[in-house]
């Protein structure tokens, strides 16, 4: 499989917003993500996961190292990389349909063509009947479905997700995770999914990148060999591969949390 996204020797420091002190966020990160793969990234809080995502999105300039998509160096935000932010990233002044079609609108796609595609994605995330509603009229789960559809509809090469389900309730989260798995099967998108929930990382990832405490280093890569079609929560508690990989990720993350606490 060809590598879609490559990160080479990425090191990053940034000044703290209040104290101005230099924060060492990432240290010599090397990783590749293959086409059609869904990788999850976990690590203790403050390990630079979000910094990495912002660099991949092109929202944060970097100096040391190289980050590229399809062999092209990332030098700013672009429509080849879609981002699903943690919360509230759908525009309150646009209806559900207009939010989902926003990316295509920005690309200048004609209205008719756009509408057909928007309808498809509304169906994909199950928001039929809510096309003309505004975000404040939706529940938390529906907002996040809308956000996922908004990003997907713009047809990015790589989809970056920054703890997208962290702000919804546990019941909705499980549903959204299964839906994302279904979407991954249907669209075959390359997805990088950042999370702090170990269960989620094991359930969704083809591979899981475990990060160390600050400065963030790639501590380990855990392979999770479960067919996408078999990934349903009700089957997971008897799935040996799921339990093994989850426990391994948990152990790796725990080590880091303990180091961070001892410091």
Partner 1 sequence: MSIVSTLSINIQKRIGRQRLRKFFLGSIPFLVLITVWHLNEVFDWLAPVFIPKVSEVWDALFILQEDCEGFSAAILLDQSCMMSTHILSSVGRVILAAIIGLPAGIALGIFAGMSRPISKVLEPIGVFANSISGIAWIPLAIVWFGVGWMTTLFIMLNTIFWLMFFNAMLGVRSIAKVYEQSVLTMGGNRWDVITNVYLPGAMPSIISGMRMSMGFGWRALIAAEMIGGDSGLGFMIFTSASEFKIEEVFLGVIIIALIFLATDRYFLMPLEKWTVHRWGLVWKPH
Token pair belonging to 109: 């796609």
Side by side, the strands of the sheet bearing 64-69 are 22-34, 3-15, 64-69, 72-73
| Apex 133 CA angle, 129 and 134, nearest 5 | 155
Options 70, 75, 113, 137; binder of partner 1; rule CB under 8 A:
137
Give which of 157, 39, 20, 145 is closest to 90, Cα–Cα. Answer: 145
Judged by CB under 8 A, the chain residues 216 through 255 that form the site for partner 1 are none
Which of these ranges, 4-12, 56-64, 164-172, 203-211, lies near partner 1 under the rule CB under 8 A? Answer: 56-64
Options 39, 47, 90, 218; binder of partner 1; rule CB under 8 A:
90
Q: Rule CB under 8 A: say whether 180 interacts with partner 1.
A: no
Give which of 198, 170, 205 is closest to 184, Cα–Cα. Answer: 205
Options 38, 154, 198, 252; binder of partner 1; rule CB under 8 A:
154
Options 43, 44, 58, 205; binder of partner 1; rule CB under 8 A:
58
Q: Rule CB under 8 A: say whether 134 interacts with partner 1.
A: yes
Q: Rule CB under 8 A: say whether 101 interacts with partner 1.
A: no
Q: Rule CB under 8 A: say whether 52 interacts with partner 1.
A: no
Give which of 160, 5, 188, 177 is closest to 83, Cα–Cα. Answer: 160
| Apex 37 CA angle, 228 and 61, nearest 5 | 145
Q: Rule CB under 8 A: say whether 158 interacts with partner 1.
A: no
Residues found near partner 1 in the complex (CB under 8 A):
57-59, 77-79, 81-83, 85, 88-93, 102-103, 106-107, 134-137, 150-151, 154
């Amino acid at each position: 499989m060809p590598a879609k996204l490559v990160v080479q020797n990425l090191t990053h420091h940034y000044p703290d917003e209040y104290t101005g002190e230099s924060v060492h966020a990432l240290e010599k990160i090397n990783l590749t993500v293959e086409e059609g793969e869904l990788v999850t990234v976990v690590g203790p809080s403050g390990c630079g996961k979000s910094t990495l995502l912002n660099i991949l999105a092109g929202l944060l300039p970097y100096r040391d190292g190289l980050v590229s998509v399809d062999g092209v160096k990332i030098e700013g935000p672009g429509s080849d990389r879609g981002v699903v932010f943690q919360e509230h990233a759908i525009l309150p002044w646009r209806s559900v349909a207009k939010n989902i079609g926003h990316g295509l609108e920005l690309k200048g796609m004609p209205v008719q063509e756009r509408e057909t595609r928007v309808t498809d994605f509304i169906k994909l995330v199950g928001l039929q009947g809510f096309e003309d509603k505004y975000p404040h009229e939706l529940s938390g789960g529906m907002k996040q479905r809308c956000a996922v559809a908004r990003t997907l509809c713009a047809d990015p090469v790589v989809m970056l997700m920054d703890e997208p389900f962290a702000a919804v309730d546990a019941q909705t989260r499980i549903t959204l995770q299964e839906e994302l798995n279904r979407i991954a099967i249907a669209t075959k998108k390359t997805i990088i999914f950042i999370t702090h929930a170990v269960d989620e990382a094991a359930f969704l990832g083809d591979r899981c990148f475990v990060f160390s405490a600050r400065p963030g280093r790639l501590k380990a890569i855990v392979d999770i060999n479960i067919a996408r079609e078999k990934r349903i929560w009700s089957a997971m508690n008897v799935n040996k591969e799921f339990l093994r990989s989850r426990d391994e990720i948990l152990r790796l993350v725990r080590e880091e949390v303990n180091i961070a606490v001892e410091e």
